[in-house]
Structure 1
Amino acid sequence: MKAIKGRAKARQAANSSVVDTGARWGLAARGVLYLLIGLLALRVAFGGENQEADSSGAIRELAQQPFGKVLVWAVGIGLVGMALWRLSEALFGSAGPDGDKPGKRVLSAGRCVFYGFMAYSVLSFAASARKNKGSDAKSQDFTARALDLPAGRWLVGIAGLVVIGIGIGVGVRAALRKYHKHLKKAQMSRHVRRAIDVLGVSGGVARGLIYAGAGVFVLLAAAQYDPDEAKGVDGTLRAFAGTPAGPWLLALIAFGLLLFGLFSFALARYRRV
């Protein structure tokens, strides 16, 4: 009986206003990052920027603005809120009728780890103003260490396939508008719903393309046994500019990232937590 009451209190705490505020702050922080990454990618597309078009470049760009350090701290704290929200989902289930499914909880745990690392990176920069490694360098370092492990080539290859699968899943779920089940539709007008669909589908597909592209480069690193073939967000975006479509494909994907940033702001307002 005490155990049941304890779980009930824990679930109530997970659904508290603190977690709700943290989740919405985190979604807004994610929106800031994607808006900046999209802007940096647009500059890369038209030859006007050498700064990395990834989260590290976005944070450095943010730090250069008026009250930049305060803004960096705000984004870092928001990402902590995002990680704690995902942790509460992993432990107690998420909102919705299928929120208690084991697969949903495992996915939330993975997101918790991802946003936890992002929060650590941002807050470390805010505290010390040291230059963080870009996504390409991080990806290559990780791949090099993995290749040195027993059966490392196979592990890296499997990781590449997993990342490709994640990218495809992100894009397909966005195209199918799976996010609808998480929205507070009763609070949204028809025009708001249409606008959110434009942002969610376009932005989600662009985001999925980047994940899938990064996974292809990890797979290539395994095939060639060369960690330098691995790329992060920045390298993957620049690779799109090297296709026959040239910088226009990169510009299109960059615009999609801008839309995903706006979509994150919309979720901060209308998502059920």
Structure 2
Amino acid sequence: MNTSAMASTGRLGRLRSGRAARGSVTRGAARAGLAARGVIYLLVGALAVQVAFGDTGRQADRGGALAELSQRPFGAVLLWALGIGLVGMALWRLSEAVFGAPGEDGRSARKRLMAAARCGFYVFVAYSVLYFAATRHQSSGGSSDQQSRDATARALELPGGQWLVGAAGIGVVAAGVWIGVRAVRRKYHDKLQLGRMSRRTRQLVDVTGVGGGAARGLVFAAAGVFAVRAAVAYEPDRAKGLDDTLRSLAETPLGPWLLVCVAVGLVLFGLFSFALARWRRV
């Protein structure tokens, strides 16, 4: 073998080693992030159940979940672990935006753009959790309801603000419908290592995936409807965060039982996130 061939072989080996190392880090970051997301949804769902049964002092959103977690034994350690896990989620999405995701269209512009948007979202979420942990639980960045009203008020003040908020609300409604329909159609099967699951395990994962995804989609769609109403009425107070959106479900003709069903669905989505952390293709 000549020197040129040896050098080429060496470069190829280093390239493969680098890809393997990057893949290992990405898988670890993704699984940590999905598990952290699962914890948040479990806590939010549990808090929403309590709200449905009359515990109105609870805040069924991320801030409430962090406050609840901080009161547990080793709460500070758990908060830091949760924040670091969410950093892993952001890094995983960043990797997909830069290098592409698994699958035939994983390197398409649409997939990369979606990954970049998800990366930005999880950067914000991870920051809010780590800030909450670092400031000794003095602040969680405000309730989701107040954040939604403040953001809507600022957007409405911009030129064409009503159209901007309305379009954003319609986009959130569309995202909620998309999430719910994909869950019911079990599109997540494409991302799971189904061959590594037993038949019973697949059935349980489907219960969490369909029920959890449908509930999550409904919450997104409802929040989007409130944003559209705020734009039409030019009243930012009509916009609702996660907590107010969930509470509004109890004011429907179905009463608190609709909120109970959605809350249980959010708990299921938390469990589904744990299943993804175990069996998702990364």
Query: What TM-score results when the alignment is normalised by the length of structure 2?
Result: 0.92
Distance verdict in 2 for CA 1:99–1:11, change over 3 Å: farther
2:139 maps to a residue whose letter is: K
CA deviations on 1:86-140 (whole Å, 9 max, x unpaired) are: 0100111111222112111111111111111100000000000222201101111
Asked if the contact 1:41/1:250 (under 8 Å) is kept, the reply is: yes
> Is 1:140 matched up with 2:157?
no
Does structure 2 conserve the Cα–Cα contact (< 8 Å) formed by 1:96 and 1:181?
no
- In 1, Cα distance between the equivalents of 2:20 and 2:126? 22
Q: Please give the alpha-carbon distance, in whole angstroms, between the structure 2 residues aligned to 1:140 and 1:14.
A: 44
Q: 2:173 aligns with which of 161, 164, 169?
A: 164
Q: How many corresponding residue pairs?
A: 269
- Structure whose alpha-carbon radius of gyration is higher: 2
Aligned counterpart, 1:43: 50
Aligned to 2:30: 23
Q: Which residue of 2 aligns with 1:126?
A: 133
Shift of 1:48: 2.0
In the alignment, the residues of structure 2 paired with residue 190 and residue 116 of structure 1 have an alpha-carbon distance, to the nearest angstrom, of 36
Instruction: Indicate if the aligned counterparts of 1:11 and 1:92 stay in contact, CA closer than 8 A.
Output: no
Q: Note if 1:208 corresponds to 2:214.
A: no
Paired letter, 1:23: A
Cα distance in structure 2, aligned partners of 1:158 and 1:17? 39
User: In structure 2, how many angstroms separate the alpha carbons of the residues matched to 1:219 and 1:270?
Assistant: 37
For the aligned residue pairs, the C-alpha RMSD in angstroms reads 1.8
Q: CA deviation at 1:49?
A: 4.0
Shift of 1:18: 1.5
Please state whether the residue corresponding to 1:16 is helix, strand or coil. helix
Letter of the 1:195 partner, please give it: L
After TM superposition, the structure 1 = structure 2 runs for residues 231-242 of structure 1, keeping only pairs within 5 Å, are 231-242=240-251
Calculate percent identity across the aligned residue pairs.
59
Superposed CA deviations along residues 18-44 of structure 1, whole A, max 9, x for unmatched, are 111111011000000000000000000
**Structure 1 position 12, deviation (Å):** 1.9
The counterpart of 2:234, out of the listed 217, 220, 225, is 225
For residue 17 of structure 1, report the CA deviation from its aligned partner.
Answer: 1.4
Structure 2: tracts of 5 or more residues without a match: 1-11
Matching of residues 19-168 of structure 1 within 5 Å? 19-128=26-135, 129-132=137-140, 133-168=142-177
Distance 2:258 2:26 in 1: 38
Deviation at 1:188, TM superposition (A): 0.6
Q: Indicate whether 1:177 and 2:181 are aligned.
A: no
TM-score, structure 1 normalization: 0.95
